[in-house]
Chains A and B, each alone.
Chain A
Amino acid sequence: MYPTIELKNLSFKAQDTNQTLLEEINFKIEPGERVGLVGPSGSGKTTLCFHLCALHQKALTGYTRGQILIQGVEFSSSSNRENALAFRPAMILQNPESQLFSNTVIEEMTLGYGERFQDKIHSALNEVGLAGYERRDLNALSLGEKQRVVLAAFLIQNPSLFVFDEPSNSLDSDLQWKLLEILKNLSMPQVMIEHNLELLTEWADRVVEMRAGKIVIDAPLRKWLNQSALKPRFFQVALELAKLNNAKLQTFHPRELIKETKSFLKGKLCLHSENNLPTNQTQPLIRVENISCGYHKKNSVLRNLSLSVNKQERIALLGKNGAGKTTLLKCFSGLVSPSEGRLYFKGELQKKWRPEKQVGKIGFCFQNPDYQLFDHTVKSECGYALRNLNCDEPTIALRVEKWLEYFGLNSFQNRSPFSLSYGEKRRLTLASILVSEPELIFLDEPTTALDEHNIKMLEKTLCDLSRVEHKTVVFATHDLDFALNVATRFIILGRGAVLADVQKSDLTNSLLTEYGFRLPVALQLIQGDVGTQEAFGSQEILGALSKLQ
């Protein structure tokens, strides 16, 4: 039996930069296989996927050398159309909104096909858990639901291969795992680019690691985890636990690891929550009282909500998709005006709270840096907020230099911001906010599309900003492990209200599970081993474990 697709000595050189993006790739996918594709940004993962979908001639500008064999038959430009019709790959991109063209689910499903495939349409919707959604307005669906519509639209074609480019990016943990369950039930071979290694290891049979256009490891999951430097943090915790118990890990899948480590380590691990915040708080930095706000007059996202943010706190806003996390951040920063209620900044009632007037007090770092970057150099992009504040040039230069240096971007000063990697762009957006010296920093989904290395850097940066620079940080996130590693206070939102508001020391595993959060695997690994129900991040656990060695 032939592999579904095989790449032999494949290289790709970009036409504009003359840079080799893929070098001597030898890679095949067998029927029914699930392959995870990992590696830093710019390592060639997406370029490889375009070749796997035989879409390189349309998606990329450059020169491909080598062979692409589709079920043993060579794919060439001369037989392009015929081969393309027989080989039906499906590729789900990061942003499902870019793959939707219609107003309703049924219109999207029938796009280009008509209604002849009604049976197939219903069975595809059923397969992704969207039965009965036919008449629903696409714009009113959540991101997770939109992604499942795209998946169903591809399922109608009965694709030969499924390729996913970071499908979990915009989904909360519950939806991520739901999506994973759906994918596990599909019979066709699948390839997934994913930074969330916890998800990837639960799903993949085989992992391919790329670096600078080359495949550095192509091995079954177990072998990859042993060989790779990109070890997921939960796996590092499991390894430390095994070492402590002089045991050898028998399994590698997160769920099985949790079972296996249950017999490990009883009562040796001692973890304490950090409590280094000043206790003499006089008044909150920002406070909202009974606010209601949203995007439509009749339909408020937040209802009668009251809370306050104190100086130097690091607050994690948690909640499912649509819980109101981003809306609350927008309300704090003045981007959404409350229809009811009051907002106080440093004890003063604010009536006209406009975002452009809060520069210097508040900084907002949005999810996607591409919505912000526009200037021709990193330096000038970084100083944009200060120019809007009419600061003089020496002050701008001084502050820009300080913050670019802080984020390790000093050497990029004269480069175009568009040439930076995603992690660097994210650091630049943060620097461009901090130049105005805000006391309060808001971040919306700061870990989106970042790999573990960049997430680790961000965790350290946010903690340092609060401890050393005395900034107050509020962030909305789906990444519970990141929140546990950074936050000192947790606010759980749901149905437009505060469901829970607890300090780190009072946050328990049972509280998190009560509100439907899936505990990070690292935390589940030590659950029961420590004599407490307190919730900890993987970084704290690793730190405590290393002290025990």
Chain B
Amino acid sequence: MNDIITLDYESGGEKTADLIRSVLLPAFKNPALEALGDGAVLDGSEKLVFSTDSFVVTPWRFPGGDIGALSVCGTVNDLCMAGGIPRYLSLSFILEEGFLIRDLETIAASIARKAAEAGVIIATGDTKVVERSKGDGIYINTAGIGFLRAPGLGREQIREGDGVILSGSAGCHGAAVLMARAGTIRLMRDPTRGGVATTLHEFIEDSPLTIELDEAAIPIDEPVAAACDLLGLDPLYCACEGRMLAVAAPEDEAAVLAALRRTPGGEQAALIGRVTQSRPGSLILNTRLGGKRLLTKLTGQQLPRIC
């Protein structure tokens, strides 16, 4: 097999079949995919959650993961936050001519590993090749289907007095744990673009409610704090994919926290704030110095400090 992706892989002929047989099928082995039909035939006759996400991160390999792992975790997390137990993923590659097949194999292996961890199968997929310079190495789109386990989550469920909980890095597993305790959770979200602040702001904007955060209670890893301090970025606005923000009824927050902390990756889970009515529609940070800061939605990009 050639070392790099060429436009021949786009033809749908011998090369395409070769790539599927030698790289993709071995990585994602399952009957639904192996049937190689135009679509997968799946079990399931209950309420579904359905989500999709595209991944264009560059470089494709970064500290702590790669685009493959991200493409599984991102969609799986979205399904979890919508109250579903993820089951099936579709996987669509857009490859730039010249991309190394060895790298594609690495990415496929990491997709397979994350899928196994999350209990999902790659049920259907697609590969397209674009001409050199028309892409950025590799783009991935995944769509996912899950079975609904926690119906009725939503911002309209939030009440004054509720606790705001950040999961640590246990995002999806944490959500699965919480879904087993349905009724106590008002809302779950993965704080991706715009970070914790923007996500929480969306919980209460245009509502009579306020969220007040306790700066000292928010778990921020030392390297993140140091990098943000140096660059003048606010960690509360940095994308925080793979974690979970949950709002829980006050009588259940202790149990929710305990459950999260028992989940691998959830040891750092913390109660970071509370829902009040002190300033309708606002997200307020009670700072370490005893002051208050209004956190608004991120507009545009965060700018590093220049002066």
Q: Do A and B come from one complex?
A: no
